Amino acid sequence: MAGRDTSPSSTSSTLSNITVQTDRLPASRSISASPPTSTPPTSHGDEASVLSDTHKMDTPVEARDDVSTPRAHPQAHPEAHLAVEATPEVPKSEGRRSARSTRAAVSTYNVQILAGTAIHTPTKYLDKHHKNVLHGPLPKSAVHSLMETTEGGAIKLEDGDSGDPAEEQLASEAAEAAQRRRSSRVTDLRKEAFRNLAAAGEAVAQKGQELLATGKQRVQHALRSSVAEQRTKESQQALVKSSPKKRARASAAPTPEDEDSETETEKDFVKPKTKKWLAQGLYLGQHREFDARLKESQNRARRRSKQAKESKILPLPMFAGERMLNVDPQNEWRDFKLPFDTYNPLPRKVKVDGWVKLQKNRFIGDASAQWKREKQDSSQCYCSPEDGCGEACHNRIMSYECDSTNCPLSPEQCGNRPFAQLKKRAKGNRYDYGVEVMETEDRGYGVRAMRCFEPHQIIVEYAGEIITQGECERRMKYVYKKDKCYYLMSFDNKMIIDATRGTIARFVNHSCEPNCEMIKWTVGGDPRMALFAGSRGIMSGEELTYDYNFDPFSSKNIQLCKCGTESCRGVLGPKPKDYNRDKKTMTSSIISGTKRKIQDMLGGSRGSSSTPSSPKKRKLSSLATTALTKAKNSLAQTAANEVKAKESAAELQAQKASRENRALRRSSSMTLSSRRSKIVHKASRRSLPVLKSTRQTTVSIKHKTPKPVPRPGALKPINRASLLPSILQRNLPTFKGRKSLPTSTIPKTPARSSRSTRSARSTRSARSARSPSPSSPNITPASLRSANRTSSKKLTQSKLNFKPVNDVPRGYKLDSVLFTDSEDDDDDDVDMEFAPKTSRTSRRPTTANSVRRAAAGAKRTFERGVRTSRRAAGVGKAAAGLGFRGMGGRGEAISGSTIRVLTGDDD
Ligand SMILES: C[S@@+](CC[C@H](N)C(=O)[O-])C[C@H]1O[C@@H](n2cnc3c(N)ncnc32)[C@H](O)[C@@H]1O
């Protein structure tokens, strides 16, 4: 039974506290009484049974349980005692009525209890009931109200114990009935008590929350004050360390103990955290002398040595920008690019199939045996530590790397050990190494810089397999037959570097305006190829390119260039002939003259393209530049004067020629009507637009002569002086104080055929004849001298290469012959012009012989013209008072028909 009492499903256990009063009911009496809870109402009169819904389960088990329970002492269980005492006194009538029905019910139905199976009350029922039961002791107030309500109604059992069995039974029945009623009342009370309890609980909870909030606030406050105290302590400590001025200021300020400040500190503390912006830009903490290419320790040392005071007002552009703009004025001004330490591209690993990396050259096959170590001219430098093997280092100039054998300086002092530097760099991280493979849009792979490179700084070595020419041919024929990319580069000793297996340099693409150069150096007596930055230097992210000067082996291998630069030559092969010619003739001579002049002025050694290292030299250089510009201007002025002189000389010449023409006309008895001349012009315009300018010049002379007919034998002077400044202006790049002019700055002349060249020249001539060329600031005495020298040479070298005319078109006759001095070769070009035959001439059919005769006459006339022209040039020269070369010989002669003969290297 004990076990059942503790069971949660046991009604007895659940009721053990609250139904204790019933326990204290006269157990002996209730033993016989069937428990009313399990008793369904048997009649309408059994109200207690019908109305009560909670007591049905309460009592029976208790009754059973309590059968053996000794009666509790009122003192030990005051509540129980009270309850017992408070048992309502049931009126007799009521009690009797209920007792009767109960009695009847007991004898009839309470079989389960009698059988001892009441314990098997369905769990469902028990659960439901369990919910309605209030657990725990009854609150005093409830007990009190219970007492009040039961007052007078309670059956004083003791009193009822009269000894009469009938009475006893009656009393017991009445008690039972009262018990039933009381039970229902108790349930109500329980509910009420429960409600009260809930309300009280709520109030307690509310109070608890309030307390909690207050506690929280107190904790926060305590925390804040501790933080404020901490800060105050810190600031006080700082003050102690700080200057007396600050201390005084701080003492004047309200003390941290002040309430206000405390509240302020609190406010500060409460303030939401805001972002703290750096005061000095992105690279806060990075000093001005910082060089990303150096190690951290080196940078630290550098900073210590320089002790530069950093500006905190304008931290950007970053330090490299500053260097770019101020420190290196020799480096020509250029478009702004983000400095390397602001823009550092992230490395992108591009995987290249079939590329076997080699870090250094490797001899293949017979190459090793055949490799004769060419006796290199040894080189020695005598630099001082102050020079540090700079631009003036002999080894550097000779492209020899300094080492302990040829340089007196230590590796730390020497600045001419590029390959050693490269080796060191290769051991660093990817940014130290500084190059990576990239993918281009239309040229396959390429190489880009991941860092900045100084002008002429070594970037990467071009190394690979060194093979003989025979092996190279074999590979080309069989191995690389279907390849589109070749990685072959001619090397020393007629060997070839095949970088199909080689360094990353093999991926460097070609450009007609490259930013790098591939240069052979001698390192420890061995030749080695490496890619060096060009004179502009390399910025981070730039694609590296050099000029392949590619030998395509055969015309089949010619590849189109896609470098996309302005001066793109169109192919990866060597420069077109025309380009070379133009470059060689005018521009290169001008440039070399200019360079020579500058070097002379600077007192430097010729052949060295080094930048003046000392500030003194730099100053001299800038002075020289200014002087040169002035000289250029004055020369331009002189050239303009010269032009005028030439024009007056030409006019004289024209008059003379006109006299000669008249004489000739008289002797040849052949004249041209104006109508015919028009036809000739039309024909020439149609057939030979090349001669357009010639005709124009003729026309311009016509204006000066009364008769608008071509003047046979008239010598047309060419206004060379007017041409020259414009040519120079076109060809000579603006001098900006740099020692060497990069190839890219040399203007390229588009490829032309000899005819188109002539045409262009004619056009130029015509242009210059129309408008006097503006005075060019780019002319230098040296350039002028060299230009004169070149042209005079051409003139003396020009030979007449006359060919007989056999193919005169039907209905036409030979009208004019144009001899042009070609700069390509020593031969002069001859162009012929045919005019439609007039009725008069058609009566005299033109035979090949007559044409030949006419041409021979023309030749004679031409030679005469040349002589005259030279005389005229002499006049011009005298007039100009300068060493200006003679005007191109030009003669016009008529023989048989209208034949104009022109020669000279300008039209
Ligand atoms: C030494 S490889 C350079 C790397 C090559 N782009 C690659 O993907 O491996 C030379 C080849 O690159 C291509 N190439 C380089 N420069 C070029 C250019 N400017 N235009 C067109 N093709 C170019 C040509 O096919 C050439 O044969």
The model's confidence at residue 154, banded by pLDDT at 50, 70 and 90, is very low
- Sequence ranges of the domains in the chain: 2-132+139-207, 214-269, 290-343, 356-574, 615-902
pLDDT in tens, 381-428: 999 998 899 889 999 999 999 999 999 999 989 999 999 999 988 888
197/612: higher pLDDT:
197
The model's confidence at residue 296, banded by pLDDT at 50, 70 and 90, is confident
With a CB cutoff of 8 Å and minimum separation 6, the contacts of 568 are 512, 513, 561
Q: Does the pLDDT value for residue 280 go beyond 60?
A: no
**Are the C-beta atoms of 30 and 99 separated by less than 8 Å?**
no
Residue 481 Cα to ligand 1 middle (Å): 16
pLDDT of residue 17: 37
With a CB cutoff of 8 Å and minimum separation 6, the contacts of 474 are none
Share of the chain above pLDDT 90, in %: 13
pLDDT in tens, 765-812: 333 333 333 333 333 334 334 444 443 333 322 233 333 344 555 666
pLDDT of residue 380: 92
Q: Which atom of ligand 1 sits closest to the CA of residue 510?
A: 16
pLDDT in tens, 632-648: 676 677 677 777 777 77
277/53: higher pLDDT:
277
pLDDT of residue 693: 32
| Residue nearest to ligand 1 atom 12, measured at CA | 485
SS3 at position 385: coil
Q: Which of 786, 668, 686, 656 is nearest to 732 (CA)?
A: 786
**If you average pLDDT over residues 531-560, what whole number do you get?**
83
Q: What is the distance between the alpha carbons of residues 529 and 492, in angstroms, rounded to a whole number?
A: 10
Per the prediction, the chain carries an average pLDDT of 61
| Residue nearest to ligand 1 atom 15, measured at CA | 509
pLDDT of residue 519: 93
Highest mean pLDDT pick, 179-193, 274-288, 709-723:
179-193
Residue 818 Cα to ligand 1 middle (Å): 45
Which of 559, 561, 563, 565 has the most ligand 1 atoms within 8 A of CB, as the residue to mutate? 559
Q: Does the pLDDT value for residue 612 go beyond 60?
A: no
pLDDT of residue 515: 94
pLDDT of residue 509: 94
pLDDT of residue 218: 85
Q: Which amino acid is at 501?
A: R
pLDDT of residue 237: 77
Residue 443 Cα to ligand 1 middle (Å): 5
Highest mean pLDDT pick, 146-155, 409-418, 595-604:
409-418
Q: In degrees, to the nearest 5, what angle opens at C-alpha 848 toward C-alphas 842 and 853?
A: 95
Sign of CA dihedral 407, 409, 412, 416: negative
Choose the weakest-confidence range: 130-139, 169-178, 224-233: 130-139
pLDDT of residue 550: 73
Q: Does the pLDDT value for residue 347 go beyond 60?
A: yes
SS3 at position 357: strand
The model's confidence at residue 305, banded by pLDDT at 50, 70 and 90, is confident
Exposed/middle/buried for 618, CB within 10 Å: 0-12, 13-18, 19+? middle
The model's confidence at residue 462, banded by pLDDT at 50, 70 and 90, is very high
Residue 843 Cα to ligand 1 middle (Å): 66
Compute CA distances 58 → 12, 131, 179, 256, whole Å.
Answer: 7, 12, 11, 72
The model's confidence at residue 227, banded by pLDDT at 50, 70 and 90, is confident
Phi-psi region of 236 (alpha: psi -120 to 50; beta: other; left: phi over 0): alpha
Q: Which atom of ligand 1 sits closest to the CA of residue 499?
A: 1
Highest mean pLDDT pick, 70-79, 126-135, 649-658:
649-658
pLDDT in tens, 688-735: 333 333 332 222 333 333 344 333 333 333 333 333 333 333 333 333
Choose the weakest-confidence range: 461-465, 609-613, 751-755: 751-755
The model's confidence at residue 575, banded by pLDDT at 50, 70 and 90, is low
Q: Which of 327, 757, 800 is nearest to 579 (CA)?
A: 757
Q: Which of 374, 394, 399 is nearest to 384 (CA)?
A: 394
pLDDT of residue 664: 64
pLDDT of residue 102: 47
Which of 476, 507, 509, 560 has the most ligand 1 atoms within 8 A of CB, as the residue to mutate? 509
pLDDT of residue 867: 63
pLDDT of residue 62: 40
Sign of CA dihedral 25, 30, 31, 34: negative
Q: What is the distance between the alpha carbons of residues 296 and 543, in angstroms, rounded to a whole number?
A: 27
892/74: higher pLDDT:
74
Residue 401 Cα to ligand 1 middle (Å): 30
Domain 356-574 has CATH 2.102.10.10: no
pLDDT of residue 403: 93
267/305: higher pLDDT:
305
The model's confidence at residue 896, banded by pLDDT at 50, 70 and 90, is very low
Q: What is the distance between the alpha carbons of residues 894 and 862, in angstroms, rounded to a whole number?
A: 10
Highest mean pLDDT pick, 330-339, 531-540, 616-625:
531-540
**If you average pLDDT over residues 749-755, what whole number do you get?**
35
**If you average pLDDT over residues 826-834, what whole number do you get?**
49
With a CB cutoff of 8 Å and minimum separation 6, the contacts of 197 are 139
Q: What is the distance between the alpha carbons of residues 800 and 421, in angstroms, rounded to a whole number?
A: 60
Q: What is the distance between the alpha carbons of residues 754 and 823, in angstroms, rounded to a whole number?
A: 9
Q: What is the distance between the alpha carbons of residues 368 and 293, in angstroms, rounded to a whole number?
A: 37
902/668: higher pLDDT:
668
The model's confidence at residue 229, banded by pLDDT at 50, 70 and 90, is confident
**If you average pLDDT over residues 500-520, what whole number do you get?**
94
pLDDT of residue 231: 77
**If you average pLDDT over residues 103-125, what whole number do you get?**
54
Q: Which atom of ligand 1 sits closest to the CA of residue 563?
A: 19
| Residue nearest to ligand 1 atom 25, measured at CA | 485
**If you average pLDDT over residues 286-310, what whole number do you get?**
73
pLDDT of residue 576: 54
pLDDT of residue 382: 93
pLDDT of residue 874: 47
**Are the C-beta atoms of 194 and 134 separated by less than 8 Å?**
yes
Which of 510, 511, 512, 545 has the most ligand 1 atoms within 8 A of CB, as the residue to mutate? 510
pLDDT of residue 38: 36
Ligand 1 site: residues with CB under 6 angstroms? 443-446, 484-487, 506-507, 509-511, 559, 561-563, 572
With a CB cutoff of 8 Å and minimum separation 6, the contacts of 802 are 819, 830, 855, 859
Q: Which atom of ligand 1 sits closest to the CA of residue 545?
A: 16
Q: Which atom of ligand 1 sits closest to the CA of residue 562?
A: 20
pLDDT of residue 308: 56
Q: Which atom of ligand 1 sits closest to the CA of residue 506?
A: 1
pTM: 0.36
Residue 504 Cα to ligand 1 middle (Å): 13
Q: Does the pLDDT value for residue 315 go beyond 50?
A: no
Q: Does the pLDDT value for residue 762 go beyond 50?
A: no
pLDDT in tens, 351-383: 888 899 998 999 998 888 887 665 567 889 999
**If you average pLDDT over residues 861-890, what whole number do you get?**
44
Give, for 482, the enclosing helix (H) or strand (E).
Answer: none
Q: Does the pLDDT value for residue 661 go beyond 80?
A: no
